[in-house]
A and B are shown apart, each in its own frame.
Chain A
Amino acid sequence: MRFAFTEQQTEFRDAVRQVLTKVCTPDALRAAFDTPAARTERWTTLAEMGVVGLTVPEPQGGLGLDLLDLVPLLEEAGRSALPEPLIETTALAAPLLAAFESGQAVDWLERIASGEVTAAVAPVDVISRSVGSTAGEAAVPAAVGADLYILSSASGVHAVPSTDVTVTPVPSLDPTRRLGTIDWEPTTTTLIASGEDAREALAHLADRASVATAAELLGLADRMISIAAAYAKERNQFGKPIGSFQAVKHLLAGAQVKLEFARPAVYGAAWSLGQVELAGSPSGSRGASLAKAYASDAATEAARVSLQVHGAIGYTWECDLHLYLKRAWALAESWGSSADHRSRILASLVDELHQTQS
């Protein structure tokens, strides 16, 4: 057993952190709130570093790595509340396309790796593992302004170009979510997987999305706690830093403990999904659910606590905190809430128990 990231993985993470600290500042986030965009200079920078094409196979210009390699980078994306769709494009769309290497998939993959394309992926219900909607009633994240849409219909999974869809924006608390409903007509030209292949792809998609989203939530939680801890050291009341008051300490410590235990849960799940024998298995899916539920709870607790520690200033538009809170709240409910994942875990455990008994 070696349950740790490699030096290479941590070095890449550090490099991404360094870049995002410069190009994904709170001011940059405010600008993104004002004018949300799918492809930005930041996206190009990340593409040049190899981050965007990380999961794209090497022949198509990517690094050919997997979700486990991406997880530390997604944590960094979360820490900076990166507005661009790294989850959708790199964690979800690229591996899905790579699994069904048709001519059009290859073309899409090349364009993802070069940074020309961002993707939107219609959410799959993590419980039923079916798509919430084919006609586009459900709001799809990263939809407004995307180039590629991964959508499902009765016929299977489709990779649909923006020219074939009509996107109607849906307002979100976090405008960088770029939610939209999608109108489209399934055709055979866009079909990339059907039948059992499609069902399997959607099941994997739900697990991968849970883990990728969980990784961003880890970064968000860490950022919120560190913003609040820094504030608690510098804000004085009663002649002392508020961080010296035990009530304040215990709020932050509680959130920190949740975060510490969410981390290995996410890393372990990411590793499992990279193992042929575990990906899509009941235990692999339970691991993904654990990761998402734990990270969602850690992030919502970090959000609650960091706001409380700030007092009124945290409740203002002026304070940077809300930029992170809003993303955390949105991601905590996306790809299955923690309650959804708990219920998925329990159903799976009971199923397994019945199987071993019969």
Chain B
Amino acid sequence: MNNTTDGAMDLRFTPAQEEFRAEARHWLAANSPAPGSLPSLDTPHGFEAHRAWEQTMFADRWSVVSWPEEFGGRDVGILEWLIFEEEYWRIQAPVRVSQNGVFLLAPTMFEFGTDAQKARFLPPMASGEEIWCQGWSEPDAGSDLAGIRSRAERAPDDDGWLLTGQKTWASRGAYAEWCFGLFRTDPDAQRHRGLTYFLMAMDSPGVTVRPIPQIDGEPGFAEIFFDSVFVPDSQVLGGVGQGWSVAMATAGSERGLSLRSPARYTEAVSRLVSLYAERLDRDPARAARSADAVAQAWMDAEAYRLNTYWTACRVLAGGTVGPEASANKIHWSETDLAIYRAALGLLGPEAELTGGGGVAGNPWLDGFLFALAGPIYAGTNEIQRNVVAERLLGLPRA
């Protein structure tokens, strides 16, 4: 019945949690823009529309429910956050333009940030005033993240660092105000050592951004060039030379509990089942050929939901999420693909139609293209399988 760590198994929510759900549902119903009504967040206009939505949520303290109240949250637990997400996806509220900040950087900042950093960065992150992008990948360092070459040297006045190099594939990088990323501070140290985690303002002198159109034609990510960009000491997160372990905390959030809540998938499969039922009336033969794929997608989403609650309860009982986050990432990314592949199968010849308004005109196709990136970003699924094999099964490194 509650979140204590003793007592018998019980998958029901407490009355207080149900009340929280009702409140969230009520607020979202009154405030959320109609599904699909905002322009793509990868366009300048759409980016601002999504930012405005973040501000609306923040004003009523719904943008970061699990954060402490002093930073704009409601200080609720992980189960309440999952409940909020269920309501968020149920009503098909807009994609979170601030997700790199609130879901990835924030958990890392709560763990490693100084009080001054939290006070400076968390509130504008919560309000959408400052949107963050993630600067890890480089042209020659993707899966092999420890091979990054972008470097930081001490500034002449010894009050900060000068950053030089190139980052790439930074989602939201085309419009974001801030960037968190890894730079090499000790050129002599090997690979994982000598890296430092920095927080950079994108309008600093020496930063050049070149947007990169993604597979749908919109500039969803960007290259970022750094040419002796000054970053003060106060914008080092977690200590000089500690970058790798700080970054792994962010990666854990990206693969584990915080980036992809199950509601995203359980809501998508319920729409998939509706599509199936509709096609069953119109074209029963085609629908029948997709039946197994539709059922599998439903199962994958439901299994993900159960696994998330299972993991959340383990965390609430004091457990940790280690290499299991890699198994999680494989599962959510494959689930997403299974859902949209099943939908395209049901649509048949209609699958390729965009309706003239770009890919977004066909939400199933749009979702499919988005899902295709899942096995690539947040560490490719091949890399995650290596982690599962080596760290969960104890197989020897190559």
Question: B292 — which chain A residues lie within 8 A by C-beta?
Answer: 339, 342-343
Interface residues of B in 345-398 (CB under 8 A from A): 382, 384-386, 388-390, 392-398
Assembly CA distance A20 to B7 (angstroms): 27
Contact B398 A272 (CB under 8 A): no
A346 at the interface (CB under 8 A from B): yes
Interface residues of B in 268-292 (CB under 8 A from A): 273-274, 276-277, 280, 291-292
Contact A4 B317 (CB under 8 A): yes
Contact A249 B385 (CB under 8 A): yes
Interface of chain A, helix or strand or loop or mixed?
Answer: helix
A22 at the interface (CB under 8 A from B): no
Given contacts A1-B313, A3-B11, contact A293 B389 (CB under 8 A): no
Interface residues of B in 64-84 (CB under 8 A from A): 79
Closest CB in chain B relative to A341 CB, distance in Å: 8
A254 at the interface (CB under 8 A from B): yes
Taken residue by residue from 202 to 237, chain B's Cβ proximity to chain A (1 for < 8 Å, 0 otherwise) reads as 000000000000000000000000000000000000
Interface residues of B in 1-52 (CB under 8 A from A): 1-14, 17
Given contacts A244-B395, A354-B277, contact A261 B307 (CB under 8 A): yes
B130 at the interface (CB under 8 A from A): no
Contact B306 A225 (CB under 8 A): no
Contact A246 B386 (CB under 8 A): yes
Question: A232 — which chain B residues lie within 8 A by C-beta?
Answer: 395
Assembly CA distance A6 to B303 (angstroms): 22
B304 at the interface (CB under 8 A from A): yes
Complex A-B, nearest 3 residue pairs according to Cβ-Cβ distance, in ascending order: A249-B389, A342-B295, A264-B310
B258 at the interface (CB under 8 A from A): no
Contact A261 B296 (CB under 8 A): no
A119 at the interface (CB under 8 A from B): no
Taken residue by residue from 344 to 357, chain A's Cβ proximity to chain B (1 for < 8 Å, 0 otherwise) reads as 01100110011000
Task: Count contacts between A and B, CB distance < 8 Å.
Answer: 161
Assembly CA distance A155 to B314 (angstroms): 48
A252 at the interface (CB under 8 A from B): yes
B122 at the interface (CB under 8 A from A): no
CB nearest to B14 among chain A residues: A1
Please pick, from B277, B302, B395, B398, the residue contacting A229 in the complex, using a CB distance under 8 A.
B395
B299 at the interface (CB under 8 A from A): yes
Please pick, from A1, A245, A264, the residue contacting B307 in the complex, using a CB distance under 8 A.
A264
Closest CB in chain B relative to A296 CB, distance in Å: 11
Instruction: Indicate the member of A244, A253, A267 with the most B CB atoms within 10 Å.
Output: A253
Given contacts A257-B331, A346-B295, contact A1 B390 (CB under 8 A): no
Interface of chain B, helix or strand or loop or mixed?
Answer: helix
B294 at the interface (CB under 8 A from A): yes
Assembly CA distance A6 to B376 (angstroms): 38
Closest CB in chain A relative to B281 CB, distance in Å: 10
CB nearest to A354 among chain B residues: B277
5 A-B pairs with CB atoms under 8 Å apart are A1-B13, A4-B310, A4-B317, A233-B396, A293-B299
A256 at the interface (CB under 8 A from B): yes
Please pick, from A3, A260, A339, A349, the residue contacting B273 in the complex, using a CB distance under 8 A.
A349
Contact B79 A1 (CB under 8 A): yes
Assembly CA distance A3 to B312 (angstroms): 9
Assembly CA distance A233 to B397 (angstroms): 11
Taken residue by residue from 235 to 272, chain A's Cβ proximity to chain B (1 for < 8 Å, 0 otherwise) reads as 00000110111101110111011001111110110011
A68 at the interface (CB under 8 A from B): yes
Contact B304 A261 (CB under 8 A): yes
Assembly CA distance A245 to B390 (angstroms): 11
Contact A2 B395 (CB under 8 A): no
Contact A254 B313 (CB under 8 A): no
B145 at the interface (CB under 8 A from A): no
Assembly CA distance A280 to B97 (angstroms): 42
A24 at the interface (CB under 8 A from B): no
Closest CB in chain A relative to B146 CB, distance in Å: 18
Contact A343 B295 (CB under 8 A): yes
Contact B277 A68 (CB under 8 A): no
Contact B295 A256 (CB under 8 A): no
B309 at the interface (CB under 8 A from A): yes
Question: B314 — which chain A residues lie within 8 A by C-beta?
Answer: 4
Assembly CA distance A249 to B394 (angstroms): 10
Question: A249 — which chain B residues lie within 8 A by C-beta?
Answer: 385-386, 389-390, 395
